[in-house]
Amino acid sequence: MSNRLRGKTILITGASSGIGRSTAFEFARSCPEDLKLILTARRINSLKQIATDIIKEVGNGVKVLPVQLDVSDAEQIRGFVGNLPTEYKEVDVLVNNAGLVKGMAKAPDIAEEDMNITFATNVTGLINMTQAVLPIMLKRNKGNGAGDIINIGSIAGREGYVGGSIYCASKAAVRAFTDALRKELISTRIRVIGIDPGQVETEFSVVRFYGDKARADAVYAGVEPLTPEDVAEVIVFAVGRRENVVIADTLMFPNHQA
Ligand code: NDP
C-alpha cells in the first residue's frame, strides 16, 4: 500500500481531533517517506502539536503543514486553497472530515443558530472545500490517480433518530452530494469515496450532549463504539487501492449497534 501513497499530498479537514487526527497518523504510518499532509481545523495549537507528534513518530520523511481553517467560511477556504505553498499545491487527496453536531433536540425546539452552523459546517463547508480543490485535481486529470475525495458522512445520513433531525438531515445531504459527485466525475480519474461511520468514540460523543457525559455514555449501552483509528484505517485502505478500484460507499459500525 505504501507505494501507492508515496509522494501524495493529503489535505484533511477537522484534523485537530478524533477521526481527522487519527487519519493523519494513519497516512503517515502507512507511508512514512515522501508524503505531505495538510492538516486543517480551527484549533491551530492542536494541529501544531499533532504535526510535531507525527514527525516525532515517523520522522522527517513526512512533511506536515498545519493550517487554521474554518470550513464554514467560504472566503477562508478559497484564500487557503489559492495560497497553498508551492510544495503543497498539488493536492492528491481531500478528506472532507470536519463536522459537528449541534441542536440535539426535537424539531420544534432546534435553535436557528444551531441549524445554520450545522449546515454551514457539515454541508456547505464540505461542498465549498470540494469546489476549491476539484480544479486542482481536474487539471491533473491524466496519468495515474488524478485525485481522491473522501467524504465522511454518518449512519445518521441513512436513518433518522429522535432529537437528531438536523444532524441527520445534514449527513443525508453529504450522502446525496457524494453520490451525485461520483457520477459527475465518472469519466475522470478522480475517485469519490463515501464513508458513513456508526458510533465512534471521540470528543464529538460528549460535545453533542453539551458535555453531559452520562447522556453520552447511555448512547453506548451494550455497544463498544468504534475508535477513530478504525475509521482512519478504512480511509487509508480506500485511498491505497489501485486506481481502478473505488470503495464508493461504506457503512461501518460497531458490532451490536442496532
Ligand atoms: P471530533 O469532534 O473529534 O472532530 C471534529 C473535527 O471537526 C475537529 O477536528 C474540529 O476541529 C473540526 N471542525 C468542527 N467544526 C469545524 C469548522 N467550522 N471548521 C473546521 N473544522 C471544524 O469528532 P469526530 O472525529 O467524531 O468527527 C469527525 C467527522 O466524523 C464528523 O464529520 C462527524 O460528523 C463524523 N462522524 C462522527 C461519528 C461519531 O460517532 N463520532 C459517527 C459518524 C460520523 P476544530 O474544533 O479545531 O475546528
Locate the ligand 1 atom nearest the alpha carbon of residue 171 and give its number.
34
Taking the CA of residue 155 as reference, the ligand 1 atom at the shortest distance is 43
Select the more confidently predicted residue: 185 or 216: 185
Which of 19, 70, 96, 252 for mutating ligand 1's site (highest number of atoms within 8 Å of CB)?
A: 19
pLDDT score of 198 more than 50: yes
Say what percent of the chain tops pLDDT 70. Answer: 98
Q: How far apart are CA 25 and CA 175, in angstroms?
A: 26
Other Cβ atoms closer than 10 A to 139: 10
As a whole number, mean pLDDT of residues 192-212 equals 90
Mean pLDDT of the chain: 94
Catalytic residue among 8, 36, 102, 167: 167
pLDDT at 142: 63
The DSSP bridge partners found for residue 196 are 251
CATH number given to 2-252: 3.40.50.720
Query: The complex's ipTM?
Result: 0.99
Q: What is the mean pLDDT of residues 180-202?
A: 96
Going by pLDDT thresholds of 50, 70 and 90, the confidence category of residue 144 is low
In three-state secondary structure terms, 99 is: coil
Q: What pLDDT was estimated at residue 1? A: 47
Phi, psi values for residue 174, rounded to 5°: -60, -45
Task: Please give the distance, rounded to the nearest whole angstrom, from the Cα atom of residue 144 to the centre of ligand 1.
Answer: 31
Catalytic site residue 171? yes
**Mean pLDDT for the stretch of residues 228-245:** 97
CA–CA dist 149, 185 (Å, integer) = 11
Which position has the higher pLDDT, 94 or 206?
Answer: 94
What are the backbone dihedrals phi and psi of residue 59, each rounded to the nearest 5 degrees, phi first? 95, 180
pLDDT at 244 over 50: yes
CA distances, 92 to each of 3, 56, 134, 202 (Å)? 14, 24, 10, 27
User: Measured between alpha carbons, how far is residue 243 from residues 37, 56, 144, 192 in Å?
Assistant: 20, 31, 7, 12
Sign of the dihedral defined by the CA atoms of residues 119, 122, 127, 133, in that order: positive
CA-CA distance, 254 to 227, in Å (whole number)? 9
Is position 167 annotated as part of the catalytic site? yes
Matching residue, cell 470536519: 98
Residues enclosing ligand 1, CB less than 6 A? 13-20, 41-43, 69-72, 97-100, 121, 152, 154, 197, 199-200, 202-205, 207, 228
- What's the average model confidence in pLDDT over 150-173? 97
Most informative mutation of 17, 118, 130 for ligand 1 (most atoms within 8 A of CB):
17
pLDDT of residue 209: 80
Query: For residue 99, which of 185, 34, 13 has the smallest C-alpha distance?
Result: 13
Lowest mean pLDDT among 18-22, 175-179, 206-210: 206-210
What is the biggest distance separating any 2 CA atoms in the chain, rounded to whole angstroms? 52
Nearest to 99 by CA among 181, 180, 12: 12
Structural domain spans, the chain: 2-252
**143: pLDDT confidence band, cut at 50, 70 and 90?**
low
Q: What is the dihedral of CA 175, 168, 70, 65, to 10 degrees?
A: -50
**Residue 2 pLDDT greater than 80, yes or no:** no
pLDDT at 135 exceeding the cut of 80 = yes
From atom 36 of ligand 1, which residue's Cα is the shortest distance away?
154
| SS3 of residue 96 by DSSP | strand
CA 108 to centroid of chain Cα atoms: 30
Per-residue pLDDT at 79 exceeds 90: yes
Radius of gyration of the chain (CA): 18
| Set of cell numbers at residue 80 | 487557503
Distance 232 CA to ligand 1 centre (A): 13
* pLDDT, mean of residues 156-171: 96
Question: Measuring from atom 6 of ligand 1, which residue has the nearest CA?
Answer: 14
pLDDT at 145 exceeding the cut of 70: no
